[in-house]
Amino acid sequence: MNASILIVEDEFIVASDLSDMVTKAGYQVCAVADTVQSAKKAVDQYQPTWVLLDIFLQDGSMGTELAPYLQDKGIGFIYISANTNQSVLEAATATNPYGFLVKPFREKDLLLMLEIARGKHESILEFSSQREALLQQGLWSLTDDKTPYESKLENTPVAFQSLIPFDFMTYEFWPATGNNPVSGAYLRSGFNEYQALAGSNLRLPNNTSIFRGKSGDQGKRPEAKVFSGVSFTDLIDQQLWGISQSLKSDLRSALLFECESNAGCLQLWFFNKGDGVYEHSHKRLLINSEKSIFRLFRQLSLTPPSGNSSIPRQARRVQPINPLHKFEGIAGRSAALLHLLDNVEMVAVTNVTVLLLGESGTGKEKVAKNIHLLSSRRSKPFVTVNCAAMPANLMESELFGHEVGAFTGATAKRIGKFEGANGGTIFLDEIGELPLESQVKLLRVLQEKQLEHIGSSKTISVDVRIIAATNRNLEQEVGEGRFRLDLFYRLNVYPITLPPLRERGEDILILAKYFIEKSAANLGRTSIPELSAAALKQLSEHTWPGNIRELEHLMERTLIKTKDPVIGTVELPGCTSGHLTLSSVSDTKKTLQQIETEHILSVLKKCNGKINGPGGAAEVLDLPASTLTSKMKKLGIKRTSNYDS
């Protein structure tokens, strides 16, 4: 097998058992360490393929402290711990491990997790290679001698954006000839839309240089550093840029890259409004693309043939080459949405498994469809499976198909969802609702990409790209035993979290107008009413617990009721205002399950037991009818219940 393993475990017996298990399976144990420091020495000496890493170690150190060191070395690691509470799982997941094993575990669990880790590692390597190829391709096309200087200048931010997401980007180049440094910056204003800012008006944070000098020493390797949390706060407090204070206060993280050759030294900064956005993969991508990056910015530092200054004298808009309408059914221009679309654009061209996370109604199916449409599988099927709406006893038949006579009622052969999606994409919506027994069967197909019809022993291979989605906290579900850990790590290759609408304030009015126009087209209305100032104020101040779906339904209802050219006010649903009255929480002994049950019963009563359609409980609660039906089943609420009780 040739793969070597470093075991970092402070309990001798556990370490010995681990060593025996993996050795028997064909792995080579290169060393055993019991502290973070001793583990670092072993990593440097043996360069293991994998590290089995205990979280709580002998000297009080945490295994999570070793994670960044392993990431810098490109070494995969799997946590092993007896502690499975949510806080530990979340802290561990934040370090991007390849797996997590809970003590005590069986030998086959360990070997399965190593197999999952191997598959995930291959996916990450493939993904990293594709990202690097995309960046190199974009940079080399810009540095081509036939590319006009203005085009180089305008399209530079576009080449980086989806791969190194940023809201503000600056660069400064120091020529080795001793000439004054040349600088510039780009401020993001939309999807592939930027303002090029005059470099002479900027004070770049060059005193944080990773390099000690700018001597043009070719022996220095390119360097990258991430600033987040406290380190970013210290950075932003000490530095000034020629940008507005409001933007400066919005920024939360930064990535610094420096490289040099005998031609000069380049310092490149990326700033983001999100916290913890930049990680090891971004650093490695920049370092591996050093020569292409340096060549581009060196060209930008030279005087263009026309004799114009190489840096724009004033802020000006850089026209987009890929407008937002490339994404089907998506509208808005908030930073949260733009970074989501960056992720969609980047991951779409790969084949990795994607896990969409976020609240109900944030548009997960829409995002999944766009990933499919932007991929090489766009001409093949896109199949949606609602895991919450599928009865457990029919799950295997629905997903994998069956033969005639496989069970009572199987009068015809059935092709399952996976087989129907062959060559394309399957979207497993509400994966967190999947029963444990169904999770086992799904895991096998994800691992082997093979299935069998019920009632048949014939193996069928399928080539399917998998996108899963959930509004549940899967780490918590794993910790409480409701979701399989191995399935979680099989799905969690590339997670994308969709922002709630309340974090996309500047998109609310854009979306409201978009949905009015969409509804008017569907209803055959030739005139589209305008939203009054009062209506716009209502929409802006609402908390949107139902997110985009709630807004869409509201605009459709509003249009149906409006015959005037102006919408004076909108009828916001009172039960979804996001605020609880005192009476609703007066009994502090009630559990969340009891409160949810009472709320659903209350809505059902108001709707006279109606679930589907206009005026039904699903619409009022702003939930898909299938999700509401699933919740009612779990809470023991029957359609025939006396809702007055």
Q: Which residues of 222-333 form beta strands (DSSP E)?
A: 223-228, 253-261, 264-272, 316-318
- What are the structural domains, with CATH classification, of the chain? 4-118 (3.40.50.2300), 148-319 (3.30.450), 325-497 (3.40.50.300), 501-576 (1.10.8.60), 588-635 (1.10.10)
The pLDDT of residue 202: 54
Mean pLDDT of 279-304: 88
Distance CA 381, CA 390 (A): 20
Contact 96, 79 (CB under 8 A): no
Mean pLDDT of 593-611: 79
The pLDDT of residue 316: 45
Count the Cβ atoms, other than its own, within 10 Å of residue 380.
Answer: 17
More confident residue, 237 or 563: 563
pLDDT value at 212 more than 70: no
DSSP code of 64? G
The pLDDT of residue 296: 93
The pLDDT of residue 512: 94
Mean pLDDT of 48-63: 88
pLDDT value at 298 more than 70: yes
Type of residue at 363: G
Type of residue at 372: H
pLDDT value at 20 more than 90: yes
Helix (H) or strand (E) segment spanning residue 182: strand 182-190
Distance CA 318, CA 162 (A): 17
Backbone angles phi, psi at 576, to 5 degrees: -120, 30
Q: Which residues of 222-279 form beta strands (DSSP E)?
A: 223-228, 253-261, 264-272
Q: Minimum mean pLDDT among 22-31, 210-219, 576-585, 590-599: which range?
A: 576-585
The pLDDT of residue 221: 83
Binning pLDDT at 50, 70 and 90, where does residue 548 land? very high
More confident residue, 370 or 352: 370
Question: Which letter, b or e, does each residue of 20-48 get, where b requires 16 or more Cβ atoms within 10 Å of its Cβ?
Answer: ebbeebebebbbbbbbbebbbebbeeeeb
Q: Minimum mean pLDDT among 124-138, 419-433, 490-504, 534-548: which range?
A: 124-138
Binning pLDDT at 50, 70 and 90, where does residue 480 land? confident
Instruction: Read off the pLDDT of residues 299-341 as tens digits, 9 standing for 90 and up.
Output: 888 766 454 444 443 444 444 444 456 789 899 988 899 989 9
In DSSP terms, 402 is beta-bridged to: 414, 454
User: By percentage, how much of the chain surpasses pLDDT 90?
Assistant: 36
Binning pLDDT at 50, 70 and 90, where does residue 127 land? confident
Distance CA 52, CA 32 (A): 10
Distance CA 21, CA 185 (A): 55
Among 78, 63, 65, 54, smallest CA distance to 3 is for 78
Among 297, 293, 298, 273, smallest CA distance to 283 is for 293
Contact 621, 603 (CB under 8 A): yes
More confident residue, 137 or 207: 137
Binning pLDDT at 50, 70 and 90, where does residue 601 land? confident
DSSP code of 319? P
More confident residue, 179 or 352: 352
Instruction: Quickly tell me which residue has 């970074």 as its tokens.
Output: 339
Mean pLDDT value across the chain: 83
Distance CA 590, CA 575 (A): 19
The pLDDT of residue 139: 92
Strand, helix or coil for residue 175? strand
Among 140, 121, 135, smallest CA distance to 74 is for 121
Backbone angles phi, psi at 53, to 5 degrees: -125, 115
Distance CA 547, CA 536 (A): 16
Burial of 406 (0-12, 13-18, 19+ CB in 10 A): middle
**Dihedral angle at the C-alpha atoms of 270, 273, 279, 284, nearest 10 degrees?**
-20
With 0.85 as the threshold, say if the pTM is over it.
Answer: no
Instruction: Read off the pLDDT of residues 37-53 as tens digits, 9 standing for 90 and up.
Output: 999 999 999 999 999 99
Q: Minimum mean pLDDT among 175-179, 204-208, 345-349, 352-356: which range?
A: 204-208
The two three-digit tokens of residue 374, written as one number: 């932007």
Binning pLDDT at 50, 70 and 90, where does residue 392 land? confident
Distance CA 5, CA 360 (A): 41
Binning pLDDT at 50, 70 and 90, where does residue 470 land? very high
Instruction: Read off the pLDDT of residues 191-200 as tens digits, 9 standing for 90 and up.
Output: 888 888 765 4
Distance CA 593, CA 575 (A): 18
More confident residue, 420 or 81: 420
Distance CA 451, CA 455 (A): 12
- Give how far Cα 17 sits from Cα of 83, 251, 495, Å: 19, 48, 33
Distance of CA 179 to the CA centre of its chain: 43
Distance CA 465, CA 423 (A): 8
Instruction: Read off the pLDDT of residues 372-388 as tens digits, 9 standing for 90 and up.
Output: 999 999 999 999 999 88
The pLDDT of residue 205: 55
Mean pLDDT of 461-482: 88
Contact 531, 539 (CB under 8 A): yes
The pLDDT of residue 587: 45
Among 597, 606, 544, 603, smallest CA distance to 570 is for 544
